Every structure is written in C-alpha cells, then in structure tokens.
Amino acid sequence: MNKVIYFDNNATTRVSPEVKEAMDLFLTELYGNPSSIHQFGGQVKKHLEEARAKVASLLGCQPEEIIFTSCGTESDSTAIYSALNAYPEKKHIVTTAVEHPAIYNLCRYLERQGYRVTYLSVDEEGQLDLEELEKAISPETAIVSIMWANNETGVIMPVEKAAAMAKEKGVLFHTDAVQAAGKIPINLKANQIDLLSISGHKLHAPKGVGVLYIRQGTKFVPFLRGGHQENGRRAGTENVPGIIALGKASELALKNLEKERSYVGQLRDRLEKGLIESIPNIKINGARAPRLPNTLSVSFEFVEGESILLLLSDYGICASTGSACSSGS
C-alpha cells in the first residue's frame, strides 16, 4: 500500500506501541476470567482494577464510579436508557442537533417510541446557546445529553455550565466525551456531570472497549443484564485485553495531555493557515469557538466533500466528511 497520511483520528486511532505491549500479555499468558475464584483469575482481576484506577485518574473520578462497556455507543445508550428506566414517569429528553449518531439516532428512535425530544440548535460557530437549554428543561425531562466536543468540528461545548443548569432543575446530565477524553482536561470531581461516555479506540486503545462514568449516588438501571460483572451494573465477561489497553492509553493520555495539546494544536494551526492562504472560498468551521487541538473542519464552497475525499484518498491522505458512521449517507 502507498504511504498513508492519516488525518482521520476522530474516526479511529492507531493502537500505540506501549498499549499493544501492555495488552499482549492478557491475550496470551494472563487469559483467565477475572470472575473466576482461582488465583489465576484473581490475578487478572487485580490488573483489571488497576486499569480502572488509571481511567479514573484521566477522568478525575473514583474507580468505583466507572463501568467498562464495549464501546462509546453502548455507553451512550446505557446512559439514556438508564435515565428513562429510572424515571419512567418522565418522557422528555434534551439533546443537541449535532450529536454523534450514537445519541442522535437513538433519540430519533425513542421519539418513535413515544418520547419527546428537544434538539437544541447550535450557532454558526457550532456553539450551543445555554439560554435555549435553560428554557428546554422541564419537570418532564428525564435526562439532558450534550456532547463535550463535536466529532466533526471539534467545537467544545460548555458542558460543565450545562450540567450545573440541569442539576439546579433536578435533572440528570450526561455527556458524550468520546472526542474530548485524552485531548482536553476532564475533572469530574469539579463539576456536576452525572454520566459520561468514552471510547477506547479514540485514544490509542483498540476498538471494542468503552467506559461509562456513573457519579456516586446516581440512580442507575443496567442496560445489559445477566451476570454480576461490574458490580451488577454491566453483565458480560469483561474484555480484559481491551480494558488493560484502555488503562494504559489513559495513563499515557494524562501524562502527555499538555504536550500533545500544544504540539498537535500547532500542527493543526499550521495546516489551517496553509489552507487559508492557498485555497480561495474556504471556511474554517468553528474557528471562533473553543476547539479540540487536533480537529480541523473545513468547508470548500462549490465542491462536494466526497469528491475531495476521494481525490485525497488517491494521494494516500485519509480524512472524513462528517462522522465515519455517516459514510454512504
């Protein structure tokens, strides 16, 4: 294959060598089931709990407030269904019009099941209007779900203020932090977010592992039922190699957060400047809003996004129009 120039890290990332090394042992040597009574299983369980503590450090929460899932999508679904099942009398959801399909399409489905959903709009910069949020929350609202950072524009939403607003009205607040985790600081001790989703494959761990943070004391109803895993909050044998990998990836992300932020941010700004200087009729989306350091979203007037992508692909350059899940639509 020709050299690949990979600009598609919001779709997925490469597993880093340290992460691969950390997980390898759990595919070959330490393959026991963490729920087994024997010492071999117990040894695996110990490592699993260490990984939990590492993810908790990245998020600034207690290890007991985290459950491992199979992906960001499962974490998102679990959060929404938990709120709807915990407060069955409440039939209203507040979210935004720019959520990833993991939330957006779930909400569209729930509308067909009889729930009412308010999709908050964003302005020209991709930013949310908190006044609109304030008006949307009602006594009927079961949950507010607003992404921390948008996967297409990288725009960072004021989720901490939004969470405080929801809390004041006694409503649960969830954030899809799949794109934010590992790229900007997160400290759940310092805010009022009740539920938060992340996904391993967006921060250099493999695909197939995610996390849902559940603030201590939050009413929670499991999504997957059956076994007693994750303290009865998520049934199913744990994806141990994936979890170990996510632990390592979280440790690395936390350690390198500031360095990566400024280095990758500078690279992004240089690319952005180069595009503006050399191509007429382009617009940088979200340029005046706070953005993730790694994300650049550009509109090219008069040209179809998909044809640009195909041409770039011929040169080995990987990029996206919208989220990877929207390809073909």
- Note whether 176 binds ligand PLP by CB under 6 A: yes
- What are the φ/ψ torsions at residue 48 (nearest 5 degrees)? -60, -40
Is residue 325 flagged as an active site residue?
yes
Give the Cα separation of 55 and 129 in Å (integer).
31
Of the pair 165, 212, the CB lying nearest ligand PLP is at: 212
Nearest to 154 by CA among 323, 325, 277, 329: 323
By CB under 6 A, the residues from 100 to 129 that bind ligand PLP are: 100, 102
Judged by CB under 6 A, does residue 13 bind ligand PLP? no
Cα distance between residue 113 and residue 325, in whole Å: 23
Catalytic residue among 71, 107, 318, 325: 325
Q: Which of 206, 210, 286, 293 binds ligand PLP (CB under 6 A)?
A: 210
Stretch that binds ligand PLP, among 53-61, 66-74, 86-94, 109-117 (CB under 6 A): 66-74
178 near ligand PLP (CB under 6 A): yes
| Closest-CA residue to 58 (of 233, 205, 207) | 205
**Which tokens sit at 31?**
């393959």
Can you list the alpha helix ranges (DSSP code H) found in the chain?
A: 17-28, 39-59, 72-86, 101-112, 130-136, 159-168, 229-232, 240-278, 305-314
**Shortest Cβ 281–ligand PLP spacing (Å):** 28
- Choosing from 9, 13, 73, 294, the residue that interacts with ligand PLP (CB under 6 A) is 73
Question: Measured from the CB atom, is 146 or 163 closer to ligand PLP?
Answer: 146
Smallest gap, in angstroms, from Cβ of residue 152 to ligand PLP? 9
What six digits make up the tokens of 131? 């006044």
Residue 323 touching ligand PLP (CB under 6 A): yes
Name the minimum Å distance from CB 202 to ligand PLP. 7
- Our CA dihedral for 65, 71, 72, 73, rounded to 10 degrees, sits at -120
CB contact at 8 A, 79 and 211: no
Residues that are catalytic = 325
Instruction: Point out which residues bind ligand PLP (CB under 6 A).
Output: 71-73, 100, 102, 147, 151, 176, 178-179, 199, 201, 210, 323-324
